[in-house]
Structure 1
Amino acid sequence: MNSLKSDTRKGISTKKRIVIKVGTSSLTYSNGKINLRFMDHLARQISDLKNRGMQVILVTSGAIGVGYPELGFKEKPTYLPYKQASAAVGQGLLLNIYEHLFREYGHVVGQLLFTKGDAVNSKRYLHMRGTLLSLLELGAVPIVNENDAVTADEIKIGDNDTLSAIVASIAEADLLIILSDIDGLYTADPRKNPEAELIHEVPQFTRDIYQIAGGAGSSQGTGGMYTKIQAAEICVRSGIDMIIAKSSLPEVIERIMAGEELGTFFKGENVHPQLKKRDIIIGTAVKGKVFVDLGCRNAILKNGSSLLPVGITGIEGHFTEGDTVSVIYENEELARGITHYSSDDIEMIKGHHTKNLKSALGFEPPYDTVIHRDNLLVMK
């Protein structure tokens, strides 16, 4: 076990928003029973990060692994409806344990169940991101899992390694830590090649890395090294650092955050914040136009402001909440973004100050902004 502190990892201790992913093999024993000792260890370390002022999102596997023994199965079922039934039972059991453990350490948790559709549909993405960030802002620990109870193979994200990277990207996290039953990325499969060496750092991601990734991992889980490399590519391209490390190491999270050279470190690329928004905004069809005045134009371009109702002069097209729209000033496209309001609602609130939105709409406004700056891509 290497206890040296790497110069390239010195900045890890300053990270503010961390996503931690744990696999089924870490959460359960080989007989499918829950590893309560590990879960307590995990909750305590995350709680300590929270106490230091960090924001932490936990992406957890294990719903199917925890649920199938409760339904009388001796091994993980292969029949999809049985998997979904196992997940329906396991999700409740798993969250109940997490809730109890985190409460013992003084923290509140909130469960979020995602599907691939939540990440690629702009409206659901908007709500997904909003819920995640609100939980963090309010001091809770979001606990995320794929919604295995209702997803089918064609819409599944596929494994929680990929899910954790998507969550890290959506939340604009600083670091993703994937905890598993392996030490990290090796030069070859260590189960087959005794000469294989642990790669401590990947300073630049290349597609060649996939060539040394093997197949699936343990019988309990679904993700092997290949899915972890997929997760690393998502993170690196999004400007997020990522570490793969062995979950059973004592105080593994604490030691990683202290800069100790554990596992494999993937260095995130230097990505401009605006580019992180490009895929979700540019990748969807523009459904309408929102015209703004000079003051709004300057606020967006010079101050990095959100789009507020008071600066809107008109709209074009019919669109709904969650659609991508263009922001226009005098026939010039300034930006594109995901709108919180439909075209009908914007017609009612355009030109109004935030304090007057309730009277203009006739109900309590769900958002102060028409397009929040986090969901606004400046085109100029």
Structure 2
Amino acid sequence: MSASAFSPQPLPAWRRAVLKVGSSLLAGEGGLDPQYAIGLARFIDAAHVRGREVVLVSSGAVAAGRGRVGAAGDGLVLRQALASLGQASLIAFWQQLTTQPVAQVLLTHDDLRNRRRYLNARATLRELLRLGTLPVINENDAVAVDELKLGDNDNLAAAVASLVDADLLLIATDIGGLYSAHPLRDPSARPVERVEHITPELLEAAGGGAGVLGTGGMRTKLEAAAKAGAAGIATVLFCGRDAHVVEALADDRLHGTLVLAQGDRLRARKQWLRHAPASGRLQVDEGAALALRRQGASLLPGGVVAVEGDFRRGDVVEIAIAGQAPFARGLAQYSAGEVRRIARRHSQDIEVILGFRYGESVVHRDDLVLLGSTANTEATT
């Protein structure tokens, strides 16, 4: 059934998106085939011209590696070896298709569940986007083992969307989107253009095996959409093989399935920050407090006057003026000992003092929530 069966609908407003492209759109005889990737690369470039940011989660390393050595079989160790062989080819493949500099980022589940590694990965991706590059992300198959593997790149894409605070998750498929039944087996199957909630019944109906080259069918895509939706991120499923569908995306028109977000992305994150246990406290001066409360600013080291507790990078800390109740909470970008060394100093001095630099802020504004009456100003900052 053609993707044209899906009526056009507007894409949700977005500034930063994660685009997932699977092996079924990239693998050909003897390695990687640019037939469908060209259109997706043009979409990425068009988004960049409009001031938008795209993070690409791309499969294809195993197919690229297999094309180099012609190895048969599908065991885990062999796939790990083929992924190692194919990673360089995969990055070169995308670099040839896009005008942006391409950066490779390999992740494992352990990187995303460990708070410090999580912050390190997010800081790196944020800097790569600031530099105008296209981050290309894949699972670190060469070192991941069964209990650490994220399982598939659909779910990896959902995790990355949350990691980079994306507004939208785009999943390119080899069919038009979600249908009421399997479109190749049931002639009565009808396109499902909008999904309010992903239910267990819907997941069960979407179950089934993947193609020979792919690692996940529609069920894993809906699982990923559910995870993204829980983080306040909408998901769209579209046919990456249909040039007209991909071209329409650049004009914010979707011919496919839109899975709505469940709640507000920032509100969900800030709600967690309000209730997570704090490991320490930062005392700040009046100027820093005013900037945080009224201007939506990050907490810079120059505004910190004292440090309480022995927290690590990535821990939740309270923020207060000396002698007063905390008015904010956030994730510390530096450990307690490091903050003590850079307190009252300019952000430009961080690397000179510490010998390294995670960023200019002690608590970034994206990782900060105001408390009490001050929380009312967050909507306007």
Alignment TM class, shorter chain as reference: 0.7 to 0.9
Q: Describe the SS at the equivalent of 2:106.
A: strand
Structure 1 unaligned residues grouped into runs of 5+ = none
Per-residue Cα deviation, 1:306-356 (whole angstroms, up to 9, x for no partner): 122233232222233333323244363333322222212222222334455
Q: Which residue of 1 aligns with 2:174?
A: 181
* Counterpart-to-counterpart distance in 2, 1:163 and 1:277: 23
Q: Which one of the candidate residues 60, 63, 81 is aligned to 1:62?
A: 60
Per-residue Cα deviation, 1:267-325 (whole angstroms, up to 9, x for no partner): 2244052423555x579754322223344333323332212223323222223333332
Let me know the Cα RMSD of the aligned residues. Answer: 2.5
Superposed displacement of residue 19, structure 1: 1.7
The question of whether the paired residues in 2 share the 8 Å contact of 1:5 and 1:259 is answered with no
- Within the alignment, does 1:317 sit opposite 2:313 as a pair? no
Q: Describe the SS at the equivalent of 2:289.
A: helix
Q: Which residue of 2 aligns with 1:36?
A: 34
Q: Which residue of 1 aligns with 2:21?
A: 22
Gap change, CA 1:117 and 1:377, over 3 Å in 2: farther
* Counterpart-to-counterpart distance in 2, 1:107 and 1:272: 28
> Matches of residues 1-380 of structure 1 in structure 2 within 5 Å?
1-2=4-5, 4-6=7-9, 9=10, 11-12=11-12, 14-29=13-28, 31=29, 33-75=31-73, 77-78=74-75, 80-102=76-98, 106-271=99-264, 273-278=266-271, 281=273, 286-329=278-321, 330=323, 332-354=325-347, 357=350, 361=353, 363=355, 365-380=357-372
Letter in 1 for 2:242: L
Per-residue Cα deviation, 1:48-95 (whole angstroms, up to 9, x for no partner): 2222332111110111222134333234x12x2211101101111111
Gap change, CA 1:32 and 1:212, over 3 Å in 2: farther
* Counterpart-to-counterpart distance in 2, 1:294 and 1:205: 47
Tell me the number of residue pairs that the alignment of Structure 1 and Structure 2 aligns: 368
Letter in 2 for 1:378: L
Q: Describe the SS at the equivalent of 1:374.
A: helix
The range that moved more, 31-40 or 194-203, is 31-40
* Counterpart-to-counterpart distance in 2, 1:358 and 1:158: 37
Letter in 2 for 1:215: G
The question of whether the paired residues in 1 share the 8 Å contact of 2:103 and 2:136 is answered with yes
Letter in 2 for 1:232: A
Superposed displacement of residue 176, structure 1: 1.6
Superposed displacement of residue 5, structure 1: 2.9
Q: Describe the SS at the equivalent of 2:111.
A: helix
Superposed displacement of residue 162, structure 1: 0.9
The range that moved more, 319-328 or 80-89, is 319-328
TM, length-normalised to structure 1: 0.87
The question of whether the paired residues in 1 share the 8 Å contact of 2:169 and 2:235 is answered with yes
Superposed displacement of residue 232, structure 1: 0.9
Per-residue Cα deviation, 1:132-162 (whole angstroms, up to 9, x for no partner): 1212121111111111111111111111111
Q: Describe the SS at the equivalent of 2:136.
A: strand
Superposed displacement of residue 121, structure 1: 1.5
Gap change, CA 1:199 and 1:364, over 3 Å in 2: closer
Gap change, CA 1:48 and 1:251, over 3 Å in 2: farther
Percent identical pairs in the alignment equals 35
Q: Describe the SS at the equivalent of 1:333.
A: coil
Letter in 2 for 1:271: D
* Counterpart-to-counterpart distance in 1, 2:78 and 2:176: 32
Gap change, CA 1:115 and 1:285, over 3 Å in 2: farther
Q: Describe the SS at the equivalent of 1:289.
A: strand
* Counterpart-to-counterpart distance in 1, 2:350 and 2:49: 37
The question of whether the paired residues in 2 share the 8 Å contact of 1:114 and 1:144 is answered with yes
Letter in 2 for 1:109: V
Superposed displacement of residue 174, structure 1: 2.1
The question of whether the paired residues in 1 share the 8 Å contact of 2:65 and 2:82 is answered with yes
Superposed displacement of residue 206, structure 1: 4.1
Gap change, CA 1:200 and 1:165, over 3 Å in 2: same
Letter in 2 for 1:25: S
